[in-house]
Amino acid sequence: MKADYDVVIIGGGHNGLTTANYLAMGGLSVCVLERRHIVGGAAVSEEFHPGFRNSIASYVVSLLRPEVVNELELKKYGYEPIPLSNSLYPDLNGDYLLLNEDEANNQAEVAKFSNRDYDALNEFYEVVDQVGSIVSGQWLKEPPKLSARGIGDLISAAKLGVDFYKLDDDARHRLLQLFVGAPITLINKWFESPKIRAMVAASCTPANYASLHQPGAAMAMLHHAVGELDGQKGAWGLVKGGMGSITQAMAKSAMAKGVDIRTDAAVKRVVMENGRAVGVELEDGDIIRGKAVASNADPNRTFLQFVGEEHLPEGFASDIRAYRMESASLRMNLALSGLPDFACLPGTSVQEHHKSSIMFVESAEQIEEAYLTARSGKPANPPFIEALIPSVLDQTLTDEPETHVMSLLCKYMPYDLAGEQTWDDIREQVAEQIIDHVQKYIPNLRDILVGYQCLTPLDLERKFGLTRGDICHGRLEPDQLFSARPHPDAAQYGTPVPGLFLCGSGAHPGGGVTGAPGRNAAQRILREMK
């Protein structure tokens, strides 16, 4: 491995690997330094119990930009998406909603709860799609500077204005509500049945830690409208072998282009000379020099830990300290000796509902209660939970036939706990509470449970380097997005530190397995280094 590179990348998450690929395609020499033994960051597959593997952090794909898939030839290197078209919403009272690609089925399913809400859902998603397409149109573009003075900034701001201008009056109103409104306003306007209200409320929670009454929190509803899978708009899927297959494919693609990837290489600090980033020092004392440094780590870690406030403009440093990071998420992976037998849809042979994304949520009020509980420093009990049984669609995840893995994303679970207890004290107790709760929907759960992994917000921070357990490298709220992500002086991937760039989810367009910040950052770096 060479000691000097054009660009040194801190972190081998999917965005760092994406940046590495594009920079190498642009003819630069690149080195990726990853602190863990494996690349992938939060898009990783690991054995969490002997014989049981899973996407242990992120678990569904849709946001990954098709441009990244094609340009990095990810399919050639092993990326294989598996469509996930069903969604199940079971209730404790035995009711359920099972949606799939069949409109007649969906109409009948929603009619179990309301005569009006099926049409309302269609109207609502039409608006969300319309607004979502404006948002996704911005994902692979550098956001305009807030302090725009140049002709380029003027043109990009004008282009965005044209997109808004094309919307009809009602869509403009809805756009405003989706961008800066509270989810509850939209839910109250469109939906009457508690079941559909719960479903829509839950749709804006995975990347949020917010009250349903919080202005700005509705924006997360759009996150689900901007995705696609294999050309199908709005579709979600699994990845054969887990999400780690995406990042392994990215790593193989990068290595084929000559990128050096070093694992077990934790960066301690960015080396500064004459006010410029000129490389990094590893925890073991190695210094690796580069003409530029790109950080895939989150903004807090990058600026406050690796660079240090003494090298930052004062106002910038205090803004980064105030940048909000927390998603109040707890992730469990369950190893199962058999198939979950749902109370609402009994049976232990694979049926449609097993091949679904599953949302254990009783009502919009439960989501609000979970938020308020977490805000008071306590884990929500019960939490609302997004679940999956990926092994039903991907048999590569377990060694033995008929065994399964189940993913649970449980919310809200605060990073800061009230009182003296730490997450290390209560991890097991909270995991057991969660299992007890899921067992109410799946009565055979404890009979088939052979092991589990519980990643609390603190574990997400320790394992993946996600400050305060934030799964998106910073809350996705209006003042932390677009031209202000993570700060107006660092929103175009360059930073106030000459030679230092951001290439991770803390930059536009934010979190999720998208490849977008990585691709945009590479374009910026290539422009600056040519």
Ligand X SMILES: Cc1cc2nc3c(=O)[nH]c(=O)nc-3n(C[C@H](O)[C@H](O)[C@H](O)COP(=O)(O)OP(=O)(O)OC[C@H]3O[C@@H](n4cnc5c(N)ncnc54)[C@H](O)[C@@H]3O)c2cc1C
Per CB under 6 A, which region of 37-45, 120-128, 421-429, 476-484 contacts ligand X?
A: 37-45
- Is the Cβ of residue 183 or residue 465 nearer to ligand X in the bound state? 465
CA atoms of 232 and 416, how far apart (whole Å): 40
Residues 6+ apart with CB under 8 A from 129: 225, 233, 234
Does 398 participate in binding ligand X (rule CB under 6 A)?
no
User: How many residues are present in the chain?
Assistant: 530
Could you tell me how far CA 259 lies from the centroid of its own chain?
26
Does 223 participate in binding ligand X (rule CB under 6 A)?
no
- Is the Cβ of residue 174 or residue 331 nearer to ligand X in the bound state? 331
Does 10 participate in binding ligand X (rule CB under 6 A)?
yes
- Is the Cβ of residue 14 or residue 404 nearer to ligand X in the bound state? 14
Identify the bridge partners of residue 7 per DSSP, sorted by sequence position: 30, 292
Q: At closest approach, how far in Å is the CB of 405 from ligand X?
A: 15
Query: Which of 208, 494, 512, 519 contacts ligand X by CB under 6 A?
Result: 512
Query: Which of 24, 42, 99, 332 contacts ligand X by CB under 6 A?
Result: 42
For the chain, the straight-line distance linking the first and the last C-alpha, in angstroms and rounded, comes to 24
- Is the Cβ of residue 80 or residue 163 nearer to ligand X in the bound state? 80
Six-digit token pair at 116? 């009006």
Q: At closest approach, how far in Å is the CB of 456 from ligand X?
A: 11
- Is the Cβ of residue 41 or residue 183 nearer to ligand X in the bound state? 41
Query: Which of 246, 389, 513, 521 contacts ligand X by CB under 6 A?
Result: 513
Whether the CB-CB separation of 241 and 201 falls below 8 Å is answered with no
- Is the Cβ of residue 171 or residue 266 nearer to ligand X in the bound state? 266
Query: Which of 23, 140, 471, 497 contacts ligand X by CB under 6 A?
Result: 471
> Please, which of residues 309-368 interact with ligand X by CB under 6 A?
329, 331
- Annotate each residue in 85-114 with x if it binds ligand X (CB under 6 A) or - if it does not, as one string: ------------------------------
Whether the CB-CB separation of 198 and 363 falls below 8 Å is answered with yes
Whether the CB-CB separation of 492 and 148 falls below 8 Å is answered with no
Three-state secondary structure string covering 401-445:
CCCEEEEEEEECCCCCCCCCCCHHHHHHHHHHHHHHHHHHHCCCH
Query: Which of 7, 31, 57, 522 contacts ligand X by CB under 6 A?
Result: 57
Query: Which of 23, 26, 41, 250 contacts ligand X by CB under 6 A?
Result: 41
What single string gives the DSSP state of each residue in 103-131?
A: HHHHHHHHHTT-SSHHHHHHHHHHHHHHH
Q: At closest approach, how far in Å is the CB of 108 from ligand X?
A: 29
Six-digit token pair at 121? 């859902």
Does 36 participate in binding ligand X (rule CB under 6 A)?
yes
Q: At closest approach, how far in Å is the CB of 40 from ligand X?
A: 6
Query: Which of 19, 21, 45, 58 contacts ligand X by CB under 6 A?
Result: 58
CA atoms of 392 and 405, how far apart (whole Å): 9
CA atoms of 496 and 510, how far apart (whole Å): 20
Q: At closest approach, how far in Å is the CB of 385 from ligand X?
A: 12
- Is the Cβ of residue 175 or residue 210 nearer to ligand X in the bound state? 210
Query: Which of 5, 6, 8, 12 contacts ligand X by CB under 6 A?
Result: 12
Packed helices 169-180 and 117-139: angle between N→C axes, nearest 10 degrees: 80
CA atoms of 441 and 444, how far apart (whole Å): 9
Identify the bridge partners of residue 404 per DSSP, sorted by sequence position: 336
Whether the CB-CB separation of 388 and 358 falls below 8 Å is answered with yes
Per CB under 6 A, which region of 86-94, 106-114, 145-153, 470-478 contacts ligand X?
A: 470-478
Query: Which of 5, 6, 11, 373 contacts ligand X by CB under 6 A?
Result: 11
Nearest Cα to Cα of residue 436 among 82, 92, 26, 4: 92
- Cβ atoms within 10 Å, residue 150: 11
CA atoms of 409 and 393, how far apart (whole Å): 19
Does 35 participate in binding ligand X (rule CB under 6 A)?
yes
> Please, which of residues 424-463 interact with ligand X by CB under 6 A?
460
> Please, which of residues 242-301 interact with ligand X by CB under 6 A?
266-267, 296-297, 301
Q: At closest approach, how far in Å is the CB of 55 from ligand X?
A: 8
- List residues near ligand X by CB under 6 A: 10-16, 33-36, 41-43, 57-60, 63, 266-267, 296-297, 301, 329, 331, 409, 460, 464-466, 471-473, 504-505, 511-513
